[in-house]
């Protein structure tokens, strides 16, 4: 007999998700089932599956897990965090507008704002190679690798998940798929990496495309936006408040240097509720 699963389909700037809660229902998490559900022709279709569970840490409201469409579990998803906040608020799983969730490697604060905006405290950026992780003995602002006889320079940062950010002159000409797929699985990144391609317009505005680890290029990437801004700030090319324009829309990223925290402000959209037998 097949199992019945209730879910919501949501998106954050066209980065789309299947969102479920395991507070009132059980869900058997296997790679095969996730891959089946993520299929865009025979399943629900999504970039990531977001799972809201009972709290595992004291003084948190929920635990939040993220799975890529290939079934692999990852540590962070900025667009997903905003959708989780909207889901929790819409489904009245909690009454307050400040929601504290734990993830695989950090605690995040989600705030419900006006006009369908959600503020996410992403936490502290990590630049040390061991925190990314990447295979470098020392921390640098700019790293480089030789890819197909060409030197590629980039910055690296973890914002809960690993990111490699390349500054490009023309975002439309960036080799996102080709270069992104090579760097994603390069031996320099033992746990793979998300690859961002950033075009800087001025100190407060950038264009960004992201090749996500385990997914490929997506319409937008919230953690990728935070990572790109942090690399820009580290290299003294961006201010502490930056508007990030992605294929799917705009995110505002703010860095509080005193608290050493990244904040992301953006929208979240509920598409429909449904159920599926799996």
Residues known to be catalytic: 77, 221
Residues 117, 233, 16: CA angle, nearest 5 degrees: 35
Could you tell me whether strands 241-246 and 216-217 are parallel, antiparallel, or unpaired per DSSP bridges?
unpaired
How far is the C-alpha of 64 from the C-alpha of 83, rounded, in Å? 11
Query: Burial, 173: exposed, middle or buried (Cβ in 10 Å; 0-12, 13-18, 19+)?
Result: exposed
**Inter-CA distances, 247 with 14, 78, 117, 165, 222, Å:** 8, 15, 18, 17, 12
Residues 250, 254, 255: CA angle, nearest 5 degrees: 145
Token readout for 56 is 């595992």
Instruction: Give the DSSP per-residue string, 203-252.
Output: TTEEEEEEEETTTEE-S--HHHHHHHHHHHHHTT-S-SEEEEEETTEEEE
């Amino acid at each position: 007999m097949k199992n019945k699963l209730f879910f919501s389909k949501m998106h954050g700037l066209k980065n789309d998700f299947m969102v479920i809660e395991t507070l009132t229902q059980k869900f058997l998490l296997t790679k095969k089932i996730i891959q089946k559900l993520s299929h865009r022709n025979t399943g629900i279709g999504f970039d990531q599956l977001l799972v809201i569970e009972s709290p595992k840490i004291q003084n948190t409201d929920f635990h939040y897990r993220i799975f890529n469409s290939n079934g692999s579990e990852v540590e962070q998803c900025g667009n997903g965090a905003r959708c989780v906040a909207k889901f929790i608020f819409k489904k009245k799983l909690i009454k307050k507008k400040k929601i504290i969730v734990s993830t695989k490697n950090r605690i995040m604060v989600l705030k419900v704002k006006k006009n369908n905006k959600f503020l996410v405290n992403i936490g502290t950026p990590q630049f040390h190679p061991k925190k990314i992780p990447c295979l470098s003995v020392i921390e640098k602002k700019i790293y480089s690798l030789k890819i197909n006889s060409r030197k590629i320079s980039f910055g690296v940062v973890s914002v809960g998940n690993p990111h490699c950010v390349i500054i490009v002159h023309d975002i439309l000409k960036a080799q996102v798929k080709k270069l992104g797929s090579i760097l994603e699985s390069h031996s320099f990144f033992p746990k793979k990496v998300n690859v961002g391609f950033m075009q800087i317009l001025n100190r407060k505005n950038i264009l960004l495309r992201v090749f996500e680890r385990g997914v490929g290029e997506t319409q937008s990437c919230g953690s990728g936006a935070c990572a790109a801004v942090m690399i820009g700030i580290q290299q003294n090319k961006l201010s502490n408040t930056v508007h990030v324009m992605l294929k799917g829309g705009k995110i505002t990223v703010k860095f509080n240097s005193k608290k050493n925290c990244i904040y992301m402000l953006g929208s979240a959209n509920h598409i429909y509720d449904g159920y599926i037998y799996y």
